[in-house]
Amino acid sequence: MQEGAFAGVPKEVVYAIAMVLAALVVLSVFVAPLAGVTSWLERRVWARMQSRVGPNRVGPQGILQWLADGIKNIMKEDIIPAAADQKLFPLAPYVVFMGFLCAFVVIPFGENLIVADLNIGILYLLAVTSLVVVGILMAGWASNNKWSLLGGMRSAAQIVSYEIPAGLSVLTIVFLAGTLSMQGIIKAQGWGPWDWFIFHNPFTFCAFFLFFTAALAEGNRTPFDIPEAESELVAGYVTEYSGMRFLFFFFAEWGNLYVIGAVATTLFMGGWQVPPIFDNYPALKGIAQFVTFFLKAYFWVFVAMWIRATLPRVRVDQLMALCWKYMVPLSFICLLGTIGFMFMDDQARRIFSAITLGFAIATIINFFRRVGFQFRAAKPEAYWKPQI
Amino acid sequence: MSDNAADTGFYAEEMTINVGPQHPSTHGVLRFVVKTDGEMINEAIPDVGYLHRSIEKIGEKVTYHGYVPYTDRADYLAAMFANQAFCMAAEKLGNTEVARRGEFCRAIACELNRIASHLISVGTFGQDIGAMTPFVHALRERESINNLMEEICGARLTYNYIRIGGVGYDIVPSTMTKIAEFLDHFEPIVEEFNRLLSGNKIFIERLAGVAVVSKEDALSYNLVGPNLRGSGIKWDIRRDIPYSVYPELDFEVPVGTAEVGSLGDSFDRFWVRIREMQESVKILRQCMKMIPRGPAISKVPKKFRPPAGEYYARVEAPRGDMGFYVVSDGSEYPYRVRIRTGSYTAMSIIDKLSKGIMVADLIALIGSLDVDAPEIDR
């Protein structure tokens, strides 16, 4: 730092520039492709479930479709309606985008692969993802469009309400792990399903589903996609947006999908924990951790896509009733129950853990039997060819 | 000191929203002027006329034969029924015999078309509620029906198949086999559709008890077809004012049974349509068994000049009672053609039902009434 090109520049400025550059690199080589590929995957998965083909032209299997869409949207004219708020309208997409992007700071992709292992990691995550609602409300109000306004108001009510069950479910895990740090929570779990917090006791098992449902609602996903319900509100808060600004909203939505999966994985499913056989190969271990985490998170992304392809949308009053009448009390019960379990001795806890795991396996087997029944009964004309 | 709105600085006012003419779930170009208080609707006034093509006036300017293709456009989702209603009126005016095989061909084509139209209806209804997959599945099945229609009459949407005196083309045996194959394939698909959509908890919760049409309302607002039957009134033109070959066929008239909510709610109307598709399958199977040999169309003069008179023919279209009132003055051209369609009257009840429901329910209501813009405006 004393000589060379940076001579005379204060150390802090150099660090700041380095951080911005690093952020740019992370943004362009990881987050953007991640959100893009998720959008492609969703369209593809969705198409197959609807016996369609989906995008398959750009690149192998259409995997570069998101790039084509992005380029198209950048080239489009940037329209700001004359009646819209000239300052807030252009700003809103960036607020939404920032809210989702900041979440990536604390997502632990591996033991050493984390931007910043904040000691308040999960709290930070809950806080910055709330920035999305500010952006959506801003977009809804600034558009000066009645549909946008309705969408924005719905979104604000929905996200603020569902923060509570989500936060309480997270708190359940925080109590168990005794830390708010993302890495700390993962380190408190093991690599096998029996060491995951989801199977720790029946209450955490319930808390997981409460968390996932609430997270879907916070991410505006079906069946809680009422802020942008296209059959009711045209396009909700994005009605007036076009081009790249429009894309930013959806970029954030698909990116958020991955964040939901990643947080669910971190809190409940053991995060990046890999079997101890990798201990002797440090390089391999890093890769295995990343792959494990990525696949676990993507599994929940896939589940969210599946839900979106299956379920209709709830009405706004039903949505609120679901949150306040059922999910909030249930998540309180989960919290209290887990506290009770923390006083239980280890031997008894292990038994409950085994029972929960057995119940979960039985549920999964039953689930797949039912899926199999649907397949046999329906004789679907789905394309079984993986490549088309 | 008065504490009215202006003094306190807080005031609430109704928000007037235009739903349509370009809106994803107005099924064509409908417009509603909706006055809302937040999410609750105080008033929804339907505004029609965006798809007016003066089909009735055109009827006075073209010959009887030449008018048949125009009737297709009255309701392009169920073109066969308008064909049939007009041809029935013209045949009655001109005392024309209809070939018996032609009558069966009409019934087969009409029932296929009814399934296609109901598929669109229930599919888009699912989409209005937010389920995307059932819509695409319904459209996939409709595509097979369109293929069959293409084999029967060469067109996929506007058929111009039913002519005065019979049908344009006979249904050949190979097509019959294909129809039978389709029916075998289609019956389990309805079950699958029910498992996917009709039995869904969220779907039922959204529709049960929403926008209830009482029997009295249904009669006084002149609802017809599935909307009327959804309110529990057993009225079907095919059964009560028999025409064509329907008196010889054995089929049920499904009515609303308050399956999940109260009688006449949105779900009942939806459920009647699902069961009507199953009845149509039954009718098709019978028709294919009973169809006689012979010509598909009787001898009709090229210059069709019915004697002076008037006739009102009505058929049971997917959207209910469809009637063609044709007045002849003895010339080659009809003196007056008047079309009566089910969607038009269904629109009139929306104003009454929409008071006090939510914006999302209005969309469900429009979908459940299955209003169809081309049919409203003609």
Q: What is the pLDDT of residues B211-248, one digit of tens each?
A: 888 888 888 988 888 888 888 888 888 888 888 888 88
- For the segment B265-286, the average pLDDT, to the nearest whole number, is 90
Instruction: Give percent of chain A above pLDDT 90.
Output: 3
Contacts of B360 in chain A (CB under 8 A): 226, 229, 232, 313, 315-316
CB–CB contact B25 A312 (8 Å): no
Question: How close B304 gets to chain A, by Cα (Å)?
Answer: 47
Helix (H, G, I), strand (E, B), or coil: what is residue A112? coil
CA B294 to chain CA mean position, Å: 31
Q: Does B15 touch chain A (CB under 8 A)?
A: yes
As a whole number of angstroms, the distance between CA B34 and CA A150 comes to: 13
Mean pLDDT (chain A) is: 83
Instruction: Give percent of chain B above pLDDT 90.
Output: 7
CB–CB contact A310 B202 (8 Å): no
Q: Which of residues 20-49 of B touch A (CB under 8 A)?
A: 23-25, 38-39
- For the segment B355-365, the average pLDDT, to the nearest whole number, is 85
Q: What is the pLDDT of residue B352?
A: 86
Q: Which of residues 246-305 of A touch B (CB under 8 A)?
A: none
Closest CA to B146 of B172, B188, B113: B113
- For the segment B152-177, the average pLDDT, to the nearest whole number, is 88
CB–CB contact B205 A318 (8 Å): yes
pLDDT digits (tens, 9 = 90+) for A52-106: 888 888 878 888 888 888 888 888 888 888 888 888 888 888 888 888 888 888 8
Q: Which of residues 111-130 of B touch A (CB under 8 A)?
A: 126-130
- For the segment B72-90, the average pLDDT, to the nearest whole number, is 88
* Residue A2 pLDDT greater than 60, yes or no: no
- Whether the CB-CB separation of B64 and B205 falls below 8 Å is answered with no
Question: How close B197 gets to chain A, by Cα (Å)?
Answer: 8
Q: Does A382 touch chain B (CB under 8 A)?
A: no
- Whether the CB-CB separation of B254 and B229 falls below 8 Å is answered with yes
Q: What is the pLDDT of residue A116?
A: 74
- For the segment B149-168, the average pLDDT, to the nearest whole number, is 88
Q: Does A309 touch chain B (CB under 8 A)?
A: yes
- For the segment B161-171, the average pLDDT, to the nearest whole number, is 87
Most confident option among A37-41, A112-116, A232-236: A37-41
- Whether the CB-CB separation of A165 and A323 falls below 8 Å is answered with yes
Q: Does B191 touch chain A (CB under 8 A)?
A: yes
Which tokens belong to A168?
A: 């309480």
CB–CB contact A234 B136 (8 Å): no
Contacts of A51 in chain B (CB under 8 A): 136-137, 140
Q: Does A46 touch chain B (CB under 8 A)?
A: yes
Q: Does B195 touch chain A (CB under 8 A)?
A: yes
Contacts of B130 in chain A (CB under 8 A): 222-223, 225, 229, 231, 311-313
Contacts of A140 in chain B (CB under 8 A): none
As a whole number of angstroms, the distance between CA B304 and CA B298 comes to: 13
CB–CB contact A315 B358 (8 Å): yes
CB–CB contact A51 B136 (8 Å): yes
pLDDT digits (tens, 9 = 90+) for B307-323: 888 999 989 888 888 88
Question: How close B190 gets to chain A, by Cα (Å)?
Answer: 10
Q: What is the pLDDT of residue B1?
A: 42
Question: How close A309 gets to chain B, by Cα (Å)?
Answer: 6
Amino acid at position B40, single letter:
M
Q: Does A31 touch chain B (CB under 8 A)?
A: no
Higher model confidence: residue B91 or residue A230?
B91
Domains annotated for chain B, with CATH where assigned, are 13-377 (1.10.645.10)
As a whole number of angstroms, the distance between CA A239 and CA A155 comes to: 14
What is the residue whose two structure tokens read 């991640």?
A: A34
Q: What is the pLDDT of residue A70?
A: 85
As a whole number of angstroms, the distance between CA B135 and CA B127 comes to: 6
pLDDT digits (tens, 9 = 90+) for A284-315: 888 888 888 889 988 998 898 888 888 888 88
Size of interface A-B (CB pairs under 8 A): 90
Helix (H, G, I), strand (E, B), or coil: what is residue A306? helix
Question: How close B174 gets to chain A, by Cα (Å)?
Answer: 23
* Residue B4 pLDDT greater than 70, yes or no: no
Mean pLDDT (chain B) is: 86
Q: Does B363 touch chain A (CB under 8 A)?
A: yes
Closest CA to A185 of A292, A254, A246, A270: A270
* Residue A375 pLDDT greater than 60, yes or no: yes
Q: What is the pLDDT of residue B6?
A: 56
Number of Cβ within 10 Å of residue A187's Cβ equals 16
Burial of A360 (0-12, 13-18, 19+ CB in 10 A): middle
CA A385 to chain CA mean position, Å: 30
Question: How close B161 gets to chain A, by Cα (Å)?
Answer: 30
Contacts of A309 in chain B (CB under 8 A): 132-133
Our CA angle for A335, A302, B200, nearest 5°, is 75
What's the pLDDT band for B2 if we cut at 50, 70, 90?
A: very low
Contacts of B196 in chain A (CB under 8 A): 310
As a whole number of angstroms, the distance between CA B292 and CA B309 comes to: 32
What does DSSP say about strands B334-340 and B320-328: parallel, antiparallel, or unpaired?
A: antiparallel
Q: What distance, in Å, lies between the first and last C-alpha atoms of chain B?
A: 58
Q: Which of residues 210-239 of A touch B (CB under 8 A)?
A: 222-223, 225-226, 229-234
CB–CB contact A234 B24 (8 Å): yes
Our CA angle for B14, B17, B20, nearest 5°, is 160
- For the segment A229-235, the average pLDDT, to the nearest whole number, is 71
Of B17, B24, B130, the CB nearest to A223: B130
Q: What is the pLDDT of residue A385?
A: 59
* Residue A388 pLDDT greater than 80, yes or no: no
Our CA angle for A85, A237, A54, nearest 5°, is 135
Q: What is the pLDDT of residue B115?
A: 92
Contacts of B359 in chain A (CB under 8 A): 150, 232-233
Gyration radius of chain A's alpha carbons: 22
CB–CB contact A231 B200 (8 Å): no
CB–CB contact B203 A310 (8 Å): no
Q: What is the pLDDT of residue A290?
A: 87
Q: Does B358 touch chain A (CB under 8 A)?
A: yes
